[in-house]
Structure 1
Amino acid sequence: MKDGPDIARIASLIGDPGRANMLAALMSGKALTAGELASEAGVTMQTASGHLTRLEEGGLIARERQGRHHYFRLADTDVAGVLEALMGLAAAKGQLRTRTGPRDPELRRARVCYNHLAGEVGVMLYDGLRARGVLTGEGDGITLSEAGRAEMTALGVELNQMSRSPECKSCLDWSARRSHLAGRLGRGILDFTFAQGWAVRPTGTRIVRFTGIGEGAFRKAFQV
């Protein structure tokens, strides 16, 4: 195809192993330094700088400056959604990393996907909200019902009205290979969960670790 979107360029940016590792690290939702990303990619600082320049020029990451320090994050939720979908495709086709460990079951159970809840608990939440009519519609057309909006307001879940992200959005979960909830509602629920002390996020990981009491409170609050 000689015109239209250039998927080859985007694919080549993501396809390099070093850049892919950097992007995967940024799925934590945190802004990281070039040094931190170089460590994630297993490359030198000079090589990392070249990778980051290409990713920034390609619109996949954004740079934040604080004084002399530069931090990098994913450009937006669309990039995060594509990465999560590619992770799901890779898992479905058997393209898995050889490194495994005790974190793997926890990542599958509950983790951060950019800024919202993913894993088995995230899918459970999404299915429960849909079953109760809190969410209506299908696929990218899901919306928060009026009854659902009243319920979230009563709970104290806040939606960032300043964000340009959609209010509700489905995101394909790489481990469960089913949808979980993204968008401003997904972010609001995750922030609310942390604020209530129901779960914690161990330093340096994407794991969301619920306490025994916290998971029960989470299930009760969202009726899942």
Structure 2
Amino acid sequence: MTKLTDEVYTTLRRKIMEGELAPNEQLKEERIAKLLDVSRTPVRTAINQLTLDGLLYRERGRGSFVSAWNTEDIKEIFEIRIQVESKAAGLAALKASAMHIESLLKCSMKMDELVEKKPEDYLKNIQEENRKFHSIILKAAASPRLTKITKTLVEIPITIGFYIYSDEDMQRSMHHHRELIHAIRMGSQEYASDVMTVHLRAALCRFLTNRDIK
């Protein structure tokens, strides 16, 4: 995506996640282009990508609409993630190899660099590094059952991600990653599990706060 398209994509994704664009609301290219003061081309491209992401759906002859994922859906998904990924983090503390830890460090350092320098498409790249980070922990846990459950969660199209994060939120998340690496290095199952719980709970709270939900 071009820089302008990425900006449109990020803006629309944030509006969806914050509830400003409601489930089943129609997105009209012309109205969005006028609202964001851009041409329709980057809007069309961003809408196509959001559709591929599962955040929008199309109806023939009618256009694009916001997928019907509501707050309760996301809260339920995160509660399951907290249970599953906290367990995985604890197992990773017991089973992780030096290679796993080195890979986690590389992801963490890359994310720190992206947050500091904010290059073009940095939010998209942070999302990808974050996905890798959590995937490495799952691999280190070496549990086929947890892998299967997590794969199901990952295939659910809507994710909160970093698109609604402030700089402070971003720094807090990066700190959690470094703390997770430390816990895994220490070999403490309880420590790693607790840090992952806090990490995911903070992400959920950020989402709820942005939607002004108590």
Q: Given the two structures, how large is their TM-score scaled by the length of structure 1?
A: 0.33
Q: Which has the higher strand share?
A: 1
Q: Given the two structures, how large is their TM-score scaled by the length of structure 2?
A: 0.34
Q: Which has the higher helix share?
A: 2
